[in-house]
Structure 1
Amino acid sequence: MSGNRITGAALVAGIAGDPVSHSLSPVIHNAWLAAADMDGAYVPFAPADPAGFEALVAAGRAGLILGLNVTAPFKEQAFALADTATPAANLTGSANILVFEAGRVQADSSDGVGLMRGLREQAPDLTVAGQPVVLLGAGGAARAGAGALVEAGAQVRIVNRSPDRAEALAADLGPSVRVMEGPAALDGAVLVINALSVQPDLDFDAVAPGTVMMDMTYKPLITPFLAAARARGLPTVDGLSMLIGQAAPSFEALFRRPPPPLNLRALLTAHLGEGS
């Protein structure tokens, strides 16, 4: 792999979040830029508040950057600031991609794509169509994940400490999504997804054998949630699979070309210092 060159004509994109220092997206995208010998860079931005994020979007409108990946807590603000949005972003009212062109901003969401690709990779026998799926959390990533699951035909159950936010998500996504509480939410579920950044308060004794357990968090690779699931013999899907799944459409949107072939899982597990 050659090192990517940086000149005055460099293509610049990045990721915005708070915090953002933990993100593996710069590792992924800069590895792709190097593999393709592209004149470009993918850098982290850490706006201190919504006003800072709005200023960063203004810089994009001014042509200073090609686009942004967006992570918490700015995904819903990113959608609100855009001039146009793809169906995936419109469905969930959040965006993890902003593309800047000719002073305009387009919002997109690849989180749902990443979720479904991660499930296909690590739980290939799972079928969600017509089946109950439990989603723990109601933030931006949960919104995108819920949207993709609804499109796949799942019956989504949202469990969240803030019922108002969960109800708003259910109202946006329609009758296939409902808000539930307690062990009853787990009845018949084929998949449980942790979309929280912390260990959820989950009664694992209420989880049926064979239920697939997924965590959107990827650092550590085996989170306490996944470790608890594995200790009970439940199949698991890690957050790295989702990150890898959403990265390729992000790169293509930001740099206007598909990424070169690269073994991202090997690259990222080595970076994390964990086995694959």
Structure 2
Amino acid sequence: MTRPYAEVIGDPIVQSKSPAIHTFWLGKLGIAADYRACHVLSDGLETYLADRRADPAWRGCNVTMPHKEAIMPLLDRLDDEASAVGAVNTVLRAGDGTLTGTNTDLAGFLEPLQPLLAAPHLFRMARVFGAGGAARAIIAALARNGFATVLAARDPAKAQALLDELGRGNDNHAVALSHFAPPTDFAFDDREGILDLVVNASPLGMAGHEPLALDFSHVPPGSVVYDVVTHPLDTPLLVAARERGFETVDGLAMLIGQAAVAFERFFGQPAPRQDDAELREILTR
């Protein structure tokens, strides 16, 4: 009998950490199943899904770029999370071969923020950098939790379109990425009772890319600085934030959080999160 399996698909796919994460959890729980990486080109996406739809051993797949939006019309249904984000990062196969698209990035992004979000606030504000694929789930997650968002991008019109689509009509604003590069003499008001986030949802700071140009005079006191980049894990933004005394969240927090949601849907058991420290060590070797 063929072992159950799930996959991650994308183009390229060699850089994905998902096989290491899921294989680690499968081993810890003693589940007789596999998790693989599968290189799928855009023109092969429909054929891939047709083949897997007919395979009862296939539990589903995680979806990376460039397929998160292109895969949507090829599925039988989208759940509320996928509809809210407007992108699919996980496909689940039912016993009858029906394929459902969901999005675990939203939950993954929010997971490390839950202790903060559990408290009441007078106001919640986020400064988010980047208007690409990673930003979609982040903007939707922030809107769902009552944040007013300033979205900075090289193309402010694209940023405004994302806010119009996903921002739930909150007091949101789009600005040019360059807005936050020079110093400002803006005097922040009393931030007591205010939750401020600074989120890098762009590739800036990733290996091979220039750092995010942010002058910390734009960052309110007490902000949490969150960078979704995972290579390097300790980005220039996070290093600079810690040097100035800000609380930080790295990209592995979101990556592991979203993977845990998918893992339980694929394999029917919660991921063994008590082993996160060991998993982080493996992923950063």
Counterpart-to-counterpart distance in 2, 1:127 and 1:44: 41
- Give 1:51 deviation, angstroms: 1.4
Aligned to 1:196: 202
Aligned to 1:4: none
Aligned to 2:126: 133
Which of 148, 158, 168 in structure 1 is aligned with 2:151? 158
- Check the 8 A contact 2:156/2:175 in 1, yes or no: no
- Check the 8 A contact 2:93/2:100 in 1, yes or no: yes
User: Per-residue displacement from partner, 1:170-209 (whole Å, max 9, x unpaired)?
Assistant: 121231243223139x976811111112222323332223
Query: What secondary structure does 1:265 align onto?
Result: helix
Alignment of 1:1-276 (within 5 A): 8-48=1-41, 50-63=42-55, 65-101=58-94, 102-120=96-114, 130-173=123-166, 174-176=168-170, 177-181=172-176, 182-183=179-180, 190-199=196-205, 200-260=212-272, 262-273=274-285
- Runs of at least 5 residues in structure 1 that lack an aligned partner in the other structure: 1-7
Q: Give the 3 Å change call, closer, same or farther, for CA 125–255 of structure 1 in structure 2.
A: closer
Counterpart-to-counterpart distance in 2, 1:127 and 1:19: 42
Counterpart-to-counterpart distance in 2, 1:96 and 1:253: 13
**Structure of higher CA gyration radius:** 2
User: Per-residue displacement from partner, 1:7-32 (whole Å, max 9, x unpaired)?
Assistant: x3201101112332222211111112
Q: CA RMSD in A?
A: 2.6
- Check the 8 A contact 2:180/2:213 in 1, yes or no: no
Counterpart-to-counterpart distance in 1, 2:97 and 2:61: 14
Q: Give the 3 Å change call, closer, same or farther, for CA 125–61 of structure 1 in structure 2.
A: closer
| Runs of 4+ that moved beyond 6 A | 123-129, 186-189
Query: What secondary structure does 1:190 align onto?
Result: strand
Counterpart-to-counterpart distance in 2, 1:241 and 1:60: 30
Q: Give the 3 Å change call, closer, same or farther, for CA 83–140 of structure 1 in structure 2.
A: farther
- Give 1:126 deviation, angstroms: 7.8
Q: Give the 3 Å change call, closer, same or farther, for CA 139–79 of structure 1 in structure 2.
A: farther
Counterpart-to-counterpart distance in 2, 1:131 and 1:106: 33
- Give 1:145 deviation, angstroms: 1.4
Percent of pairs with identical residues: 35
- Runs of at least 5 residues in structure 2 that lack an aligned partner in the other structure: 189-194, 206-211
User: How many aligned positions are there?
Assistant: 263
Counterpart-to-counterpart distance in 2, 1:179 and 1:221: 27
User: Per-residue displacement from partner, 1:143-189 (whole Å, max 9, x unpaired)?
Assistant: 111111111111122211233432331121231243223139x9768
Counterpart-to-counterpart distance in 2, 1:55 and 1:228: 46
Q: Give the 3 Å change call, closer, same or farther, for CA 67–38 of structure 1 in structure 2.
A: same
- Check the 8 A contact 2:63/2:89 in 1, yes or no: yes
Counterpart-to-counterpart distance in 2, 1:113 and 1:66: 20
Which range is displaced more, 106-115 or 156-165?
156-165
Counterpart-to-counterpart distance in 2, 1:237 and 1:117: 11
**TM-score, L = length of structure 2:** 0.82
